[in-house]
Amino acid sequence: MSDFAAARRMMVDGQVRTADVTDKRLLAAMLELPRERFVPEEKEALAYLDLDVPVTEGKPTRRLLKPMVLAKLIQAAEVGEDDRVLDIGCATGYSSAVLAKLAGAVFALEEDAALAKQAKRVLSEVGAAAAAVVSGPLTAGWPAAKPYDVILIDGAIEELPERLAGQLGEGGRLVCVLGQGPAGKAMLYRCVHGDLSARPIFDAAAPLLPGFAKPQAFVF
């Protein structure tokens, strides 16, 4: 049987702390949460590796973000204990469980019915009472509960839909990976007086989320 507690410690010490993640609440959450519970049983051995772990079969394959990328995105969002957070593309719910340790309320958005069902079950099992799973198209966000202090997009996007930016409250932060492959950049967007500023925060690669590819230009 794998020693998941030791693997969890190695993940935090070897992947997360070494990437300049210093938020004590975030580190404690990642040390506590059993990441192996959020992946298929046959992939438990991959749960703490430095990779985007697949949680579905077929295409497009949905994956959990690398621990380092997820941690750096969450740290950049500066999640406060009273914040309302929208987690877009929560998959099996690991990112939402981490956020639920930091925020007042987390809305875990998933459009895949099987993943949403699994996320709801596992989040309940690990006691993530602050997280509520909601179902709908990822690109539409969850306007019913806006405005949000933080929006996390769990994967790469090629462009940011305006409707998501419009769900941020004043001072709200949105974090994601913009672009694919080696050209990808983790981005921090901030809403100030209704305008959205953007700045790159680190180089990052992540799997493209369904629906977030840039529409192909028509060529005559």
pLDDT tens digits, 60-92: 899 999 999 999 999 999 999 999 999 999 999
Tell me the H-state helices in 87-215.
94-100, 113-125, 162-165
Q: Is the dihedral of CA 92, 182, 208, 81 positive or negative?
A: positive
Boundaries of every domain in the chain: 65-203
Q: How many Å separate Cα 75 from the centre of its chain?
A: 12
78 SS3 class: coil
Spatial separation of the C-alpha atoms in residues 115 and 92, rounded to whole Å: 5
- Give the C-alpha separation, 214 to 24, whole Å: 37
3-class DSSP state of 112:
coil
Cis status, amide bond into 147, omega within 30 of 0: yes
Residue 181 has pLDDT above 60, yes or no: yes
Which pLDDT tens digit goes with each residue over 122-135?
999 999 999 999 99
Per-residue model confidence as pLDDT tens digits over 2-38: 699 999 999 999 999 999 999 999 999 999 999 999 9
Question: For the domain 65-203, what is the CATH code?
Answer: 3.40.50.150
What whole-number distance in Å separates Cα of residue 5 and Cα of residue 203? 29
Cα separation of 10 and 2, whole Å? 13
For 208, which DSSP code? B
Report residue 23: phi and psi, to 5°.
Answer: -65, 115
Note the pTM of the prediction, 2 decimals: 0.95
Give per-residue burial for 58-80: e unless 16+ CB within 10 Å, then b. eeeebbbbbbbbbbbbbbbbebe
